[in-house]
């Protein structure tokens, strides 16, 4: 089993959430079934397809852990496309057309005005060739062969080719549109499954006849419902949320991948500790046909839950050099992003600014500093400190605990104080209590 993901140039040159989902689903499907995942770069557009575009795609995929078994570039395969094109031309399955875009648009409007489908009207074989015009080329659909397949998501599909326009496969300047080269690639690479958005369903119908015209068995197809957000369809132009945004915001790639692996399915979205875990539960039978609603807030929630489960070894190389496993396990329950860790690590090992407190709170902290001097730090210092202060001051609940937390951590909330106080040490605790009492 072999699957392929195609990447065409985008305005940013980076991966957005839509094509990340497609790449992920191809990757997971191949991983689950022991297949091969091939990356295809559509770099035939010389103006938009730069070396930076190529490198950016591969960099984004590698950052997310979506490695590939092979990478092909369409700009390196023109000889193959030319050979197969000539074979189709000799068989009468591609033919020259001479209409201008303006002429085609006018005819389209006329057909729509008559209540007819705006399907391209073939010219007679002996039609005169307009002088001074170069042809564009169309693939000739077989109007007598209904197009049918069983889609892995959409189920039984049937198209009447008479209601489809013969697709343009080559422009008048000789450059290629993606439809035919993609089919030629798929045949050459032995692609068995194609996963893409439902906006390509009619393209797939035409491509099935291209496979057959080349003497190849069409692959299986899975057409996914499009991602939608509050502002509507996410696309290369509208979907700015993607790999660069994640990296800038410090979001774990596995958080996004966990959401995209389940979005549009009947399965709950849960954090996963690895791609193998995501692949194990991946099944196209669980995907529905309704639009898949994507909310970046879901990624943020999964990101926090993921961090709370990650072992020290998974993050050690991204933590401050002196941070230990004990520090990580203590602080991770309060993290939303890994970038939050250094600030909490300073609570344990660094310095904080004394908080502004009331007169009564400062008196309580002065007493707390004195009590802390006598606390046995080898035992349970927080429990002993609060027990003695409760008895000596008569305070309890928020009146007791909130000033202590502010003085010791500089925060209104956070991890359990018992672990924090034990980890920061007596000397630091006394110094912070005294500084808060003096302010």
Residue 237 clears pLDDT 60, i.e. is over it: no
Percent of the chain exceeding pLDDT 90 equals 58
Q: 268 in a domain, yes or no?
A: no
Q: Are residues 405 and 341 in the same domain?
A: no
Q: 240 in a domain, yes or no?
A: no
Among 432, 272, 285, which residue's Cα sits nearest to residue 352?
432
Q: Are residues 379 and 327 in the same domain?
A: no
Mean pLDDT of 282-298: 89
- CA angle 54/57/58 to nearest 5° reads 90
Q: What is the model's pLDDT at position 232?
A: 54
Give 48's Cβ-side CA count (13 Å radius).
Answer: 13
Q: What is the model's pLDDT at position 79?
A: 96
What is the pLDDT of the chain when averaged over all its residues? 88
The range of the structural domain enclosing residue 114 comes to: 2-228
Q: What is the model's pLDDT at position 227?
A: 84
Domain boundary among 330, 349, 368: 349
Residue 12 clears pLDDT 80, i.e. is over it: no
Pick left, alpha or beta for residue 215 (phi over 0 → left; psi -120 to 50 → alpha; otherwise beta).
left
Q: Which of these ranges, 10-19, 38-47, 168-177, 194-203, has the smallest mean pLDDT?
A: 10-19
Overall number of domains in the chain: 3
197 beta partners = 224
Which tokens sit at 62? 């590698």
Mean pLDDT of 2-20: 71
Kind of pairing, strands 155-159 and 147-151? antiparallel
CATH of the domain at 392: 1.10.10.350
Q: Are residues 224 and 316 in the same domain?
A: no
Q: What is the model's pLDDT at position 167?
A: 95
Considering Cα of 165, then 169, then 170, then 171, what sign does the dihedral take?
positive
Cα 143 off chain centre by? 39
Q: 297 in a domain, yes or no?
A: no
- Provide the 8-state DSSP code for 390: H
Domain boundary among 349, 378, 403: 349
For residue range 23-82, list pLDDT tens digits in order: 999 999 999 999 999 988 887 766 666 677 778 888 889 989 999 999 998 889 999 999
Q: Are residues 344 and 413 in the same domain?
A: no
Using alpha carbons, list the distances in angstroms from residue 333 to 237, 327, 414. 37, 11, 9
- Distance between CA atoms of 12 and 60, rounded to whole angstroms? 12
Among 200, 190, 245, which residue's Cα sits nearest to residue 222?
200
Q: What is the model's pLDDT at position 235?
A: 47
236 is in an annotated binding site: yes
| Termini Cα distance of the chain | 69
Are the C-beta atoms of 43 and 49 separated by less than 8 Å? Answer: yes
Which tokens sit at 270? 């849960």
Q: 249 in a domain, yes or no?
A: no
Considering Cα of 102, then 104, then 110, then 115, what sign does the dihedral take?
negative
């Amino acid at each position: 089993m072999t699957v392929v993901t195609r990447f065409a140039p985008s305005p940013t040159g980076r991966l957005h959430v839509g094509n990340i989902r497609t790449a992920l689903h191809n990757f997971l499907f191949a991983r689950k079934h022991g297949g091969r995942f091939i990356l295809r770069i559509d770099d035939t557009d010389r103006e938009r397809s730069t070396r930076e575009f190529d490198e950016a795609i591969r960099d984004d995929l590698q950052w997310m852990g979506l490695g590939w078994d092979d990478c092909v570039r369409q700009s390196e395969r023109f000889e193959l496309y030319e050979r197969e094109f000539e074979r189709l031309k000799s068989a009468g399955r591609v033919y020259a057309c001479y209409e201008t875009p303006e002429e085609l648009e006018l005819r389209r409007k006329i057909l729509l005005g008559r209540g007819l489908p705006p399907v391209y009207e073939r010219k007679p074989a002996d039609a005169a060739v307009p002088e001074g015009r170069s042809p564009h080329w169309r693939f000739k659909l077989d109007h007598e062969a209904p197009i049918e397949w069983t889609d892995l998501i959409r189920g039984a599909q049937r198209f009447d080719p008479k209601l489809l326009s013969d697709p343009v496969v080559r422009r008048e300047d000789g450059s290629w549109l993606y439809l035919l080269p993609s089919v030629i690639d798929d045949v050459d690479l032995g692609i068995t499954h194609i996963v893409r958005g439902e906006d390509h369903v009619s393209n797939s119908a035409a491509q099935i006849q291209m496979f057959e015209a080349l003497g190849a068995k069409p692959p299986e197809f899975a057409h996914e419902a499009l991602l939608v957000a509050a502002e509507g369809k996410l696309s290369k132009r509208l979907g700015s949320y993607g790999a660069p945004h994640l990296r800038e915001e410090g979001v774990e790639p596995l958080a996004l991948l966990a959401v995209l692996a389940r979005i549009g399915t009947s399965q709950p979205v849960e954090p996963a500790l690895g791609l193998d875990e995501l692949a194990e539960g991946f099944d196209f039978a669980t995907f529905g046909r309704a639009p898949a609603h994507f909310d970046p807030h879901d990624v943020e929630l999964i990101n926090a839950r993921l961090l709370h489960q990650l072992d020290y070894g998974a993050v050690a190389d991204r933590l401050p050099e002196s941070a230990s496993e004990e520090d990580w396990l203590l602080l991770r329950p309060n993290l939303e992003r890994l970038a939050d860790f250094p600030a909490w690590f300073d609570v344990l090992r660094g310095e904080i600014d004394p908080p502004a407190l009331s007169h009564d709170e400062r008196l309580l902290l002065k007493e707390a500093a004195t009590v802390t001097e006598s606390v046995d730090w080898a035992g349970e210092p927080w429990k002993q400190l609060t027990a003695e202060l409760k008895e000596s001051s008569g305070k309890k609940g928020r009146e007791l605990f909130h000033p202590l937390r502010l003085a010791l951590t500089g925060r209104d909330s956070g991890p359990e104080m018992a672990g924090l106080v034990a980890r920061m040490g007596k000397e630091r605790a006394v110094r912070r209590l005294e500084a808060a009492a003096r302010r």
